[in-house]
Structure 1
Amino acid sequence: MSMPNFASTVLERARAAGAEADLIVDAKESLSLKARDGALEEQAVSATRILGLRVIKDQQVGIAYSEATDADALNQLVDQALLNARYSKPEPNEQIQANRQSLHTDDAQLCPDSQFSAEQRIELALYLERTLASKPQIRNVPYNGVMEVISQHQVFSTQGLSASSRQRMNHLYAYALAADGDLTAMAGKGQATRLGEQLNADQVIANAYHEATTLLQGKPVASGHYDVIFDIESLADVLGAFSIMLSGKAAQDGINPWRNRIGKSVAVTGFQLSDQPLATDGFGYALFDSEGTACQATPLVVDGVLQTLLHNSVTARQLNAGNTGHAQRGPKSPLSVGAHQLHVAPGQHTQRDLTSGEYLELTALQGTHSGANAISGDFSFGASGYLCRDGERIQPVRGITVAGNFYEMLNRISAIGDTAKWNWQRSIKMPSLRFADIAISG
């Protein structure tokens, strides 16, 4: 794929001013639908394209962005970035990478053609809300939606980089409010697929209905210490709340609690955590990062021992580490670091091993970010789910608080399931993990 004319114009102008530069171009087309009381409540269609320029001149970095590509806008984009650089402090570790390469994803794999029409999407949205709302004990379905997003991410540089990735994603979700007298409970489920034709509303309806109506009769358990299994969605939320532990940028800033733990144990033996950006069945797939560095699988924790943090070129240079290809930068934002799609490897424990004896299965958490201190690891979340025994749910549970220290909890994993699954957004893949001796307040 050749470089667009506007990209060439921008980069040539930056180089003529004595700067090196890279240009991010993010484009998105989306259709979002929401239903209410059996009618279409919202239909939003959008198409955006934003150019984000980073220039480096005399070790000073400036960024600017534009949504226009006419000649005046492009000239102003370069001039603004150069002006911003002039007033920034020197950043000797930040450089435009010598990535003279061409990286392009396969549209047939990540952005396949779809025959699912707008009319079919509307009918799907109406069916989702109408069918779930008509079920016994369901008062309404306040949050629901059907969405398709086609996104394109491109990176070009004065060093000769040309990288482009295009992806199609479809989402469907529904949250139902159930009621029985004065008792109410809300629960929801979602689904993500490449093609709209693959969405299954009945599956989401059945799961959301069962969860919402079952939790109506939930009650607190006695305060104490329990073994806990977070469902895949809740566990993904918890890991997200403490993602700072993997960030080379946070280590550079001195706030990553694992910054001095490379080569040391951070979890139980058998715990394997990696970033797998090239797994095409996930929606965090990335062939390259925001600096154009080619991505590859990155082992992070092997048998409980921390191997590396996630790095871009700047954090790698400053911390004397290898660049792992995890640069993140939006058109309007400076360079940072982030995971693509994390994987926890399956373990050796069968479902029977995981679910023997008594434990709590937590299926919903409240306050996973406000209730978490990512630096210390301390957390306190509202939770609901089920009290279970030998794999059977024996009582729905609501109105409890789960608390502890996440970093200590990683050393209390008593079982790692032998089957890994994606969360519904397909951003993280992991097996069930059983944590021992977790504090629960009823």
Structure 2
Amino acid sequence: ALQNASYAAVEPNEKILPNTAQLKTDDALLCPDDTASIDAKIDLALEIEARLASKPKVKNVPYNGVQDGLGERQLFSTAGLSALSRSRSTACFAYALLEEGENNAMEGLGQVSREFSELQASRLVDSVYQNALDMLAGKEIASGRYDVMFDAEMLPSLFQVFAMMFSGKSAKDGVNPMRDKIGSMIADPRLTLRDNPLATTGFGYALFDDEGTPTQNLNLIEEGQLTSLVHNSMTGSHFGLQSTGHGTRGPRSTLGVGLHQLELVGGDAEQTELTAGRTVLITDLTGMHSGANPISGEFSFGASGFLCEDGERLQAVRGITVAGNFYDMLSRIDLIGAEQHWNWERSALMPSIRFSDVSISG
């Protein structure tokens, strides 16, 4: 480590912070005792596999499992910092491959909780099977411009692909397209997006960042206006600002920045209003990194989902391409749903958004 450090470029704004905080997470909330036996976890994994494998048209269950984890993070500094974070997670997941004639479809999903007893095998099996069954009959739709919604898994993934727009490090390096737009309107005025690391119901919870800086709930976009980027101590110092508690680093990585858990504030549209008329619901995107340019905002992804009419699924859709400019889409929002939903990994909490005039090619 010392030898590697001797070759590193000197960064005048990077230094050990005069941080004397004494921080510790609440074990009762984040790290309950694990009372489930190994046998119980093995039995659950086998049960999920057997239930899926017994259903009609299931060719096989290529992936499934139960996993648990206990994470502990401790930070100390010569300035007096002492920070301790402990968390527990238990999860189950499954994928099912269905086949009918020449058609096949594979879908997967998972669940996560802090308590093994809260995992619901039946719900997981039913969701995975139904999603794959629906996709068996999937086909292309006519090319055109559609009102589009992304489901609870894909909407956070879309924001994550373009998360560089909030990076103070990318702004310091001159590659963040939003670096000069603090205080400017960049989205529909109904859109408020924050990083909410202190929500204990999420698995992106963080009491402090990798520099030991206490975290905070931070509005990134407030009523359409870009209000903040995320900073570590180095990028904050570069811009004459304080760290926002978003420093990241590891044993073999330099100091960076990263988001904790995004929350998009709910709007006022009820489900019937959100789904009125004809829409395309996107449930899967492929090529999300190779098909995206975070600097320009342009993207082109393979997609599948459903063509819907007044909330009813008319047909499953496969083999389509959805394309556009993400930064432009933020201003082409038709409706924002009132109800928020966690993605299955519980790393992002967002309502449904109906985007207008999105290009789809079949």
SS at match of 1:232: coil
Q: Counterpart in 1 of 2:10?
A: 90
Instruction: Tell me the distance in 1 between the aligned counterparts of 2:9 and 2:283.
Output: 47
Query: What is the alpha-carbon root mean square deviation over aligned residues?
Result: 0.9
Q: How does 1:352-431 map to 2 (within 5 A)?
A: 352-431=272-351
SS at match of 2:294: coil
Instruction: Tell me the distance in 1 between the aligned counterparts of 2:352 and 2:9.
Output: 47
Residue 205 of structure 2 corresponds to residue 285 of structure 1: yes
Question: Which residue of the other structure, out of 155, 173, 181, is the alignment partner of 1:253?
Answer: 173
Q: Counterpart in 2 of 1:221?
A: 141
Instruction: Tell me the distance in 1 between the aligned counterparts of 2:142 and 2:9.
Output: 56
Instruction: Tell me the distance in 2 between the aligned counterparts of 1:87 and 1:118.
Output: 46
The amino acid across from 1:152 in the alignment is E
Residue 19 of structure 2 corresponds to residue 99 of structure 1: yes
Q: How does 1:161-240 map to 2 (within 5 A)?
A: 161-240=81-160
Q: Mind listing any 5+ residue stretches in structure 1 that lack a counterpart?
A: 1-63, 65-80
Instruction: Tell me the distance in 1 between the aligned counterparts of 2:129 and 2:37.
Output: 27
Stretches of 4+ aligned residues off by more than 6 angstroms: none
Q: Counterpart in 2 of 1:38?
A: none
- 1:365 Cα offset (Å): 0.9
Cα deviation, 1:103-130, whole Å, max 9, x if unaligned, reads 0011111000121110000000000111
The amino acid across from 1:200 in the alignment is Q
Q: Which has the higher contact order (CA 8 A, sep 6+)?
A: 2
- 1:333 Cα offset (Å): 1.3
Q: Counterpart in 1 of 2:183?
A: 263
Instruction: Tell me the distance in 1 between the aligned counterparts of 2:172 and 2:208.
Output: 22
Q: How does 1:95-134 map to 2 (within 5 A)?
A: 95-134=15-54
Cα deviation, 1:60-115, whole Å, max 9, x if unaligned, reads xxxx3xxxxxxxxxxxxxxxx2x333333321100111111210011111000121
- 1:259 Cα offset (Å): 0.9
Q: Counterpart in 1 of 2:252?
A: 332
- 1:154 Cα offset (Å): 0.9
- Highest CA radius of gyration, 1 or 2? 1
Q: Counterpart in 1 of 2:270?
A: 350
- 1:391 Cα offset (Å): 1.0
SS at match of 2:191: coil
SS at match of 1:130: helix
Q: Counterpart in 2 of 1:156?
A: 76
Instruction: Tell me the distance in 2 between the aligned counterparts of 1:89 and 1:351.
Output: 53
Instruction: Tell me the distance in 1 between the aligned counterparts of 2:252 and 2:88.
Output: 23
Question: Which residue of the other structure, out of 146, 167, 171, is the alignment partner of 2:66?
Answer: 146
The amino acid across from 1:111 in the alignment is C
Q: How does 1:73-84 map to 2 (within 5 A)?
A: 81=2, 83-84=3-4
Count of aligned residue pairs for this structure pair: 362
Cα deviation, 1:346-397, whole Å, max 9, x if unaligned, reads 0011111111110000111111111111111111111111100111111111
The amino acid across from 1:132 in the alignment is L
Identity of aligned residues (%): 52
Instruction: Tell me the distance in 2 between the aligned counterparts of 1:258 and 1:413.
Output: 19
Cα deviation, 1:168-193, whole Å, max 9, x if unaligned, reads 01111111111101100111111110
- 1:167 Cα offset (Å): 0.3
Query: What TM-score do you get using the length of structure 1 for normalisation?
Result: 0.81
Instruction: Tell me the distance in 2 between the aligned counterparts of 1:199 and 1:332.
Output: 35
Residue 193 of structure 2 corresponds to residue 273 of structure 1: yes
Cα deviation, 1:119-162, whole Å, max 9, x if unaligned, reads 00000000011110110011111121211010001111111100
Instruction: Tell me the distance in 2 between the aligned counterparts of 1:172 and 1:201.
Output: 8
Instruction: Tell me the distance in 2 between the aligned counterparts of 1:85 and 1:166.
Output: 29
Instruction: Tell me the distance in 1 between the aligned counterparts of 2:347 and 2:206.
Output: 12
Instruction: Tell me the distance in 1 between the aligned counterparts of 2:44 and 2:361.
Output: 41
Instruction: Tell me the distance in 2 between the aligned counterparts of 1:431 and 1:85.
Output: 44
- 1:299 Cα offset (Å): 0.7
Instruction: Tell me the distance in 2 between the aligned counterparts of 1:391 and 1:88.
Output: 56
Instruction: Tell me the distance in 1 between the aligned counterparts of 2:156 and 2:132.
Output: 21
SS at match of 1:115: coil
Instruction: Tell me the distance in 2 between the aligned counterparts of 1:339 and 1:86.
Output: 29
Instruction: Tell me the distance in 1 between the aligned counterparts of 2:303 and 2:215.
Output: 36
Instruction: Tell me the distance in 2 between the aligned counterparts of 1:374 and 1:133.
Output: 41
